[in-house]
């Protein structure tokens, strides 16, 4: 009888350990999904930043051209 109780206790212990491991694995999977989502968001943010950088560079070039044109027109007027 004692052996049956000991085996039942061991079985319950292993069952608890198994369920704890499953819960931890689920947490790890959730963390991996979150990291994957974060990587996707940062990739999209990087693309947006690159597009903004291109727009700023283009505006800067246009501003430099406009300034050079204005300076040359002012010097002609003088």
What is the per-residue pLDDT across 25-34, written as a single tens digit (0 to 9) for each? 999 999 999 9
Q: Does residue 77 lie within any of the structural domains?
A: yes
* Residue 11, token pair as written in the block: 């079985």
Q: Does residue 26 lie within any of the structural domains?
A: no
The number of folded domains in the chain is 1
Q: Does residue 27 lie within any of the structural domains?
A: no
Residue 23 has a pLDDT of 96
Residue 31 has a pLDDT of 98
Q: Does residue 32 lie within any of the structural domains?
A: no
Q: Does residue 9 lie within any of the structural domains?
A: no
Rounded Cα–Cα distance for residues 58 and 76 (Å):
27
Q: Does residue 19 lie within any of the structural domains?
A: no
- What rounded mean pLDDT belongs to the chain? 91
Q: Does residue 59 lie within any of the structural domains?
A: yes
- Domain extent for 59: 42-78
pLDDT of 58 > 90? The answer is yes
pLDDT tens per residue, range 8-42: 888 888 999 999 999 999 999 999 999 999 999 99
Rounded Cα–Cα distance for residues 49 and 52 (Å):
5
Residue 27 has a pLDDT of 97
Q: Does residue 70 lie within any of the structural domains?
A: yes
């Amino acid at each position: 009888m004692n052996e049956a109780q000991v085996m039942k206790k061991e079985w319950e212990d292993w069952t608890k350990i198994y369920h704890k491991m499953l819960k931890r694995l689920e947490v790890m999977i959730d963390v991996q999904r979150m990291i994957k989502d974060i990587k996707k968001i940062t990739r999209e943010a990087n693309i947006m930043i690159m597009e903004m950088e291109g727009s700023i560079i283009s505006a800067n070039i246009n501003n430099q051209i406009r300034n050079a044109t204005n300076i040359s027109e002012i010097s002609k007027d003088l």
